[in-house]
Structure 1
Amino acid sequence: MSSGITLSASTRQNLLSLQDTASLTSTTQNRLATGLKVSSALDSPVNFFTAQSLSNRSADLGGLLDSISNGVQAIQAANQGITSISKLIDSAKSTANQALSTQITTTGTASTDFDGTAASTVNLYVNGTAKTANIAAGSTIDDAITALNTAAGSKMFSKDKTGDKIVLNASADVEFADTGSQTALGFTAGTGTPPDYGTGNTTVAQASELTVAGVDNRKKLAEQYNSLLTQITQLSKDATFNGVNLISNGDDSNKLHIAFNEKDTANLDIQGQDLTADGLGLTSITAGATGTGNFLLDADIKTTVTKLGSATDTLRAASSTFGSNLSVVQNRQTFSKNLINVLDTGASNLTNADLNVEAANSQALSTRQSLGISALSLANQAQQSVLQLLR
């Protein structure tokens, strides 16, 4: 029967101390290698799972930062669109005011003496408004001029120096509804294509003696205005970021949703607005359109300028709204970044090792191990003395 090995108490104590030192050395070396003092639930269940929860939330918030960043860019795209549309609105105002400052005149002297022997009815349009003057049989030229000016509502008809011919000098567009109305006043019958100044009226070609100035210029300015409206609509539809456009559609479906936390209990819904030309209440200037008529009437142009002013107010209100929303989103973006840093720092504090401390521990354990080996050697000296006697 074999007997067990018998160690002295001091030897066993020193051996246990060396084993503890070796275990601590292994732990310290692992911490130095991984940088973690808690690398599994076995090291510290509370710290490990708490740190894991903090890291998970940090990761969730980090994923939301991309969505928040996209939201910021979508709002900035909308704001940039509003800024550019405002400049186009200013150009449209300038065009309308230029049309308003363009003077319209109709001037000319009849080539034939006025003959009031027979009764006649003169049908004409003054800036698109129908006017009718009834000239009785046997009327003098003065009687005819009085009837014409009364019907027109202003003193635009007079007589030449001879006193026999009718003179038209109007600060307006004057068009005749029929050839008979022209010849009755001594003007020649017009030939060619009737003028189309946007009144929508049926007229005849102007008499060769009459000259109309300013109408064509206003018509061209109306076309320029229409081109600007087209650009406004196109620009609003191009203010898109990542498929999101906040200024081309005001429907409830056009809404930007931004989540600020992982449970979406903190969020912001930004409603899109229709800032196209139609959405701003701006309509094209077309021939025959009531209230526009190719900028023929000063009153119509002033109405257009008023609409442009309202459009500017709408854009400013929209810009203010988007600016406020952008401030909120950017503030939450900064908050989320700082919170992620706090969460990551908290998780690190629970699991990361202090490498300076661990390095010092490693040096101390190395010294302790050397001392333990020396102590174990001293504890075995008594047994070595017995060995010398046996020799």
Structure 2
Amino acid sequence: MSSSVTLSAATRQNLLSLQDTSALTATTQNRLATGLKVSSALDNPVNFFTAQSFNSRSGDLNSLLDSISNGIQTIQAANQGITSIQKLIDSAKSTANQALSTQITTTGTAGTAYATTSSATSVKLYVNGQATTASIASNSTIDGAITALNTAAGSTMFSKDTTGTKIVLNASAAVEFATTAGQSALGFATGTTSAATVAKYGTGNDVVTSGTNLTVAGVDTRAKLAEQYNSLLTQITQLAKDSSFNGVNLISNSDPSNKLHIAFNERDTANLDIQGQDLTADGLLLTSITGNSGTSVNGQGNFLLDTDIKGTLTKLTAGSDTLRSASSTFGSNLSVVQNRQDFTKRLVNILDTGASNLTNADLNEEAANSQALSTRQSLGISALSLANQAQQGILQLLR
């Protein structure tokens, strides 16, 4: 004897409809809860794995964005360093121009009258460090001595005072005597030998101090300006070495290994290498001003000669040109990297949107579906009740 319950066709149909409605309701509620219409490969394998591919590439590109951002900061640090170095070079130019405008003079009148000598006299002078010797003939008058001195100096810097007996020195240069004998032979008070004057203009080229009758102006001022210039060069080098970001410095040296590598895609098939440059004082070919200059040790340093100062200004101008060129290069690279950063951000957004389109549910649609299914379920229950009313009539007859 069968123990199954026999349902009428109408009842069974209504029951199946309620079951279908219940399944659809469960699916809709799951989509509303998760926001996804494809939450696993079982829902839609093509959409699921395609969306995973999009999300994977989006994640890779997002990781690259951090590297690109660091690259931008590194370039900006280098560019800021260049800007600050340019200001220091401008200060160095100002210092050199100030030295050039500082006049060097040697002035004074002999303390005693010129006295003729019975024998020829040689007076060795250094005019701005350049050695020259005036040969004064025996029994030469003061006029003859002055002529010999001016001929040796290459300039009319010696003359006589109003009395016509004393020699006057008025030069737009640093004029120094090699010996005290030369000073006394012209009637000037003698100086002394000091550590600063021994071998002042090279080995064996000693000088003596000016003495009380002569005043040399401008040399010390230029020497102090040279010290300021050297300090600025030190600051340029230090600033260049401090212009780093995340351990990368693009202006401290030009070594081939000193470069910034920025990858623009996950396979590194699109990238940019930015080579570092040496923008220190040495890299800009700016040399310190010392006590000596030129190819030989002659003591003509510390901005003593106008030609040296002009040469320094030429080097500073060349250094400025190098900085401008480097700034242009870094600026161009920065533009490229920023453009790729913007492109990558937009591409990530496109990939994320594409993945969402494949897997995300339309919550407005699912909410409407939920309301419709709720209504359908209520109607199904009512229909099932109506289908059972015929059997309830038979039950009344049995009673």
TM bin, normalised by shorter chain, reads over 0.9
TM-score, normalization by structure 2: 0.93
- What amino acid sits opposite 2:226 in the alignment? A
What is residue 361 of structure 2 aligned with on the other side?
353
What is residue 239 of structure 1 aligned with on the other side?
243
- What amino acid sits opposite 2:83 in the alignment? T
- What amino acid sits opposite 1:287 in the alignment? G
Q: How many residues align?
A: 391
Give 1:198 deviation, angstroms.
Answer: 7.2
**Percent of pairs identical after alignment?**
77
Matched, 1:266 2:285: no
Give 1:183 deviation, angstroms.
Answer: 2.3
Contact 2:226 2:302 in 1 (8 A): yes
Q: Structure 2 vs 1, CA of residues 167 and 194 (structure 1 numbering), >3 Å: closer, same or farther?
A: farther
CA–CA separation in structure 1 for the residues paired with 2:311 and 2:355: 66
CA–CA separation in structure 1 for the residues paired with 2:111 and 2:118: 18
Counting only pairs closer than 5 Å after superposition, residues 217-228 of structure 1 correspond to structure 2 as 217-228=221-232
Give 1:177 deviation, angstroms.
Answer: 1.7
What CA RMSD, in Å, does the superposition of the two structures yield over aligned residues? 1.9
- What amino acid sits opposite 1:253 in the alignment? S
Which segment drifts farther, 350-359 or 332-341? Answer: 332-341
Counting only pairs closer than 5 Å after superposition, residues 60-99 of structure 1 correspond to structure 2 as 60-99=60-99
- What amino acid sits opposite 2:280 in the alignment? T
Counting only pairs closer than 5 Å after superposition, residues 1-391 of structure 1 correspond to structure 2 as 1-112=1-112, 113-191=114-192, 193=194, 199-200=201-202, 201-290=205-294, 293-391=301-399
Give 1:222 deviation, angstroms.
Answer: 0.7
Give 1:199 deviation, angstroms.
Answer: 4.7
Q: Structure 2 vs 1, CA of residues 281 and 198 (structure 1 numbering), >3 Å: closer, same or farther?
A: farther
Which blocks of at least 5 consecutive residues in structure 2 are unaligned? none
CA–CA separation in structure 1 for the residues paired with 2:70 and 2:201: 50
Which segment drifts farther, 7-16 or 171-180? Answer: 7-16
Give 1:339 deviation, angstroms.
Answer: 1.3
Give 1:114 deviation, angstroms.
Answer: 3.3
Q: Structure 2 vs 1, CA of residues 243 and 286 (structure 1 numbering), >3 Å: closer, same or farther?
A: same
Q: Structure 2 vs 1, CA of residues 199 and 339 (structure 1 numbering), >3 Å: closer, same or farther?
A: farther
CA–CA separation in structure 1 for the residues paired with 2:194 and 2:79: 48
CA–CA separation in structure 1 for the residues paired with 2:10 and 2:304: 118
Contact 1:198 1:296 in 2 (8 A): no
CA–CA separation in structure 1 for the residues paired with 2:115 and 2:48: 111
Give 1:89 deviation, angstroms.
Answer: 0.8
Contact 1:194 1:205 in 2 (8 A): no
CA–CA separation in structure 1 for the residues paired with 2:333 and 2:201: 46
CA–CA separation in structure 1 for the residues paired with 2:195 and 2:181: 15
Which blocks of at least 5 consecutive residues in structure 1 are unaligned? none
- What amino acid sits opposite 2:314 in the alignment? T
TM-score, normalization by structure 1: 0.95
Q: Deviation per CA, 1:236-287, whole angstroms, max 9, x where unpaired?
A: 1111212121111111111111111111111111111111111111111111
Contact 1:199 1:287 in 2 (8 A): no
- What amino acid sits opposite 2:372 in the alignment? A
Give 1:349 deviation, angstroms.
Answer: 1.0
Q: Secondary structure at the match of 1:95?
A: helix
